[in-house]
Amino acid sequence: MTSSSKLIDLSASAVVDLLKQEETTPLDLLDALEERIAEVNPTVNALPTLCFERARAHARDLMKRPVAERGRLAGLPVPIKDLTRVAGVRTTYGSPIFADFVPEQSDILVENLEREGGIVFAKSATPEFGAGANTFNEVFGATLNPWNTARSAAGSSGGAAVALATGMAWVAHGSDLGGSLRNPASFCGIVGLRPSPGRVARDPGAVVDDILGVEGPMARTVEDVALLLDAMVNEDPRDPISLPRTGESYVAAARTPQPLVRVAFSPDLGVTPVDAEVAEICRKAAWRFTEIGVAVEEAHPDLSGAKNAFQTLRAVSFAAAHRKKLEDCPDLLKPEMIWNIEKGLRLSASEIATAEEQRAEIIRQTHAFFSHYDLLLTPATIVPPYPVQARYVDECSGVKFDNYIDWLAIAYSISLTTAPAMSLPCGFTKDGLPVGLQIVARPRGEARLLSGAAQLERLLDLSTVHPIDPRTPS
C-alpha cells in the first residue's frame, strides 16, 4: 500500500491507475484525504462540510464489484461544490436561508459521478448562491488562497480550487457562469475547464434552457481535468439541453498532440482593462506555442455587445431563481444578490430582446473567428489574487467598475460564446502569485482544447501536479 503522503502527491490519473491495478483502495484514499484535510483545512477553509462516513459506505459497496465494473473513476474521491445537492449531506448554497438544509435526492451530476465510481467525501466552499468571485459567506466564513492566505481564492468554485492546490482532492467538481471555475483556477494555480453548454448533464434550474451556466471539472493538470470530464459527460432526459456522449475519450485527446496551425492571443478581448503584469505573463506564455511551430497572432472576435448581453441575461436568471427569496427573506441575502435580483425584475422585454440579439451575434462572430484560428488565448483573470477582505475588484489599471460583476468581463464574454474554455497555470507574478491563461476552442471543441492545452502545459512545465502547503504572510 502506498503511504498517505505519497498518494496525496500523485496525479489523479496515477491514482486511478493504482485503483484499477488494485494497488490501493478507495478506503486508502479516503484515509489519506482525511489526514491531509485535518492538517490543512483549518488554515484555508476550503471544505466546510465533510461526509466521510457516507463516503466509506459508498467505497465499500463499490469494492464489492469487479474492478472492471467500478466506472471510469474506479473509486476516486471527489468533492462537490456546495451549490449542488448530495443526498443526505448538508447543502447550504452558502446561504443562511439553507444553513441546515439536507436534501433527500442528489443532483443529476452527482448521480452520474457516483455511477462512474466517484466517491463524494466533502462539499467545497462557495459564495452565497455562487454570486461574486470571492469565496466567502455568512455560514462558513472566508476561504483563503493557499499561495498567500491574505489573498482571495476567487470564486465561486473557490473551495474546490483551494482543495486541489493543497492536496485535499485529486479532482473536484465546479461550476461556471461568468468565470466561476476559471477565476479560482487562475488564482490558485490549478486547471479549470468550462465545457460547452449541455456537455455535462445537471438538474435544470429556474431557466430550464439556460446555456450560460455549466458544470465542469477542476484538477491540477490538464490530463486529470480530462479524466474527470470523461466521467462527467452524460445525456439525461431530465436536463433538456444535455448532449449525448460522442464516444471520444477526453483523456486520449489530452495525451495526443493534435496539430495546431494558428492561435490568437488577446490581452483584453477588447472589453476590459487588464493588469500590465498579468497581461505580460500571459503574452509570454501564449508565444511559447511558436516553439512547436504554431503561429501566434493578436486577434479576437468582436465581443463589443458582451457587457450588456451578459449583465442583462444574468439578471434575468437571478430574478427567475431568487425572486421568492427576495420577497420572503431579504434580510438574509447579501447586497450583491439583492442588486442582481432587482436588476432582473426591472428589465423590460425590449432590453431582454436586445441582449438576446447581442448574444446571437457574439455566437456568430465566434464561429467565424474559429474558422481562422485553432485556439484563442487571453488572461483568465485581469488581476492577480487580491486581498481577501475586498468583496470584489472595484478598479483595474485606473478604470473603476460600476458593480461586482464588471471585473469579470474577460471570462463572462467567453461564456456568451458557448465555447469551451480553460484556465491553465502559466506563470507567477513578482510576488509569487499564480496567473492563469484562458484557452478557448470552438464551441463543442473540448478535445481540441484539451490537446492544445496539454501541449502548452508541457512547454511551460510548472509542475502543478504537486500540491502545496498553505503560505501565510509574515
Annotation says 11 is catalytic: no
Cα–Cα distance list, 338 to 4, 89, 148, 302, 352 (Å): 45, 28, 31, 31, 19
Task: Compute the distance between CA of residue 32 and CA of residue 11 in angstroms, rounded to an integer.
Answer: 14
Q: What is the DSSP string of 240-296?
A: TTPPPP-S--HHHHHHS-----EEEE-SSTTTS---HHHHHHHHHHHHGGGGGT-EE
Q: Which cell goes with 297? A: 497572432
156 is catalytic: yes
Catalytic residue among 81, 307, 325, 334: 81
The Cα 339–Cα 104 span in angstroms is 32
Using DSSP, state whether 56 is helix, strand or coil: helix
Nearest-10 crossing angle of helices 52-63, 26-44? 160
Give the position of cell 500590465: 276
Residue 160: φ, ψ to 5°: -65, -45
Q: Which residues contact 228 (CB under 8 A, 6 or more apart)?
A: 12, 73, 78, 171, 173, 217, 218, 219
Separation CA 68–CA 48 (nearest Å): 33
Q: Which of 95, 124, 180, 423 is an active site residue?
A: 180
Q: What is the DSSP letter of 95?
A: -
Q: Which among 214, 204, 266, 209 has a CA at the least distance from the CA of 409?
A: 266
The DSSP code for 185 is H
Residue 442 grid coordinates: 470552438
Active-site residue, 348 included: no
Which residues lie below 8 Å from residue 290, measured CB to CB, with a gap of 6+? Answer: 296
In terms of Cβ atoms closer than 10 Å to its own Cβ (0-12, 13-18, 19+), residue 304 is middle
Spatial CA neighbour of 190 closest among 119, 115, 124, 136:
124
Catalytic residue among 156, 175, 186, 415: 156
Is residue 75 a contact partner of residue 26, using CB atoms and an 8 Å limit? yes
Give catalytic residues, as residue numbers. 81, 156, 180
